[in-house]
Amino acid sequence: MLKFTFLIRRIDGMSHEQFVDYHRQHHAPLFTSIPEHQRYVKKYVVSHPVSIPNFPAPPYDAITDIYFASMEDYTAFFKSENYQLKVHPDESNFFKLDEVISIVSDEKVVTDTRMS
């Protein structure tokens, strides 16, 4: 399984609270509403850093992890008409497309106490 991690920054003029709300309440449901989500995506996670005393301010406003079984599934999802016409246009409404950092990894869970 391949894990695609996207580090994103909110658009100028949008508060952290507005960004989190938009990401969770609008964009994530839009993403999961297209049939290609059911067909190709194995797992979809959105995370938003929180401020903790004595920790540096996070450089990104969100981390989105999307898991696919293969590069073919990744390509099919992101090239699909539904993604291109419905989901992708919404991204610029809340994050800076030109500042996205992408990382592809092969995740290996070492410990997960929730699974025992």
Nearest CA among 6, 7, 20, 33 for reference residue 94: 20
Instruction: Quote the pLDDT of residue 108.
Output: 84
CB of 31 within 8 A of CB of 77?
no
User: What's the domain count of the chain?
Assistant: 1
Tell if the pTM clears 0.85, that is, is over it: yes
Residue 40 has a CB neighbour count (10 Å cut-off) of 22
pLDDT digits (tens, 9 = 90+) for 11-55: 999 999 999 999 999 999 999 999 999 999 999 999 999 989 999
88: domain CATH number? 3.30.70
- Label residue 115 by pLDDT band (50, 70, 90): low
pLDDT at 43: 96
Identify whether 38 is part of a domain: yes
Residue with tokens 């695609």, as numbered in its chain: 4
Range of the domain at 38: 6-64+71-105
Within-domain flag for 113: no
Determine the residue type at 81: E
Instruction: Please report whether residue 37 resides in a domain.
Output: yes
